[in-house]
Amino acid sequence: MKRVGFLFKIKEEHKEEYKKHHQNVWPEMLEALKKHGWNNYSIFMTPEGLLFGYFETPHSFEEALDLMATEDINSKWQDFMAPYFENIGDQHPDENMMELEEVFHTD
């Protein structure tokens, strides 16, 4: 199982709304994540709106993204969430995900 970490920044004015939406993620989106091996998926937020995301997958990071890109619900979710993020231009948030290098792990 590959462990994946990534960072994003939420616009200050959207932090509370972002958290609200993630308390009620669309069931179809949750199903797609599970279907494509996004396991143990968590998102953490600092008071400044910096997000740290983590998930485990049987795939590479690129494969996990590519598999989700095949789902219409993912495209709809990415369109819906895009206005909340800083510095992503006209792209979907998942198109701006950069894998962090794992430098330490213990079980």
14, 22, 59, 92: which one is catalytic? Answer: 22
User: Nearest to residue 100, comparing CAs of 8, 1, 37?
Assistant: 8
Is 22 annotated in the active site? yes
R_g of the chain, CA atoms, integer Å: 14
Instruction: Map residue 61 onto helix, strand or coil.
Output: helix
How far apart CA 102 and CA 107 sit, in angstroms, is 14
Q: Which two tokens stand for residue 79?
A: 């369109």
Give the catalytic positions in this structure: 22
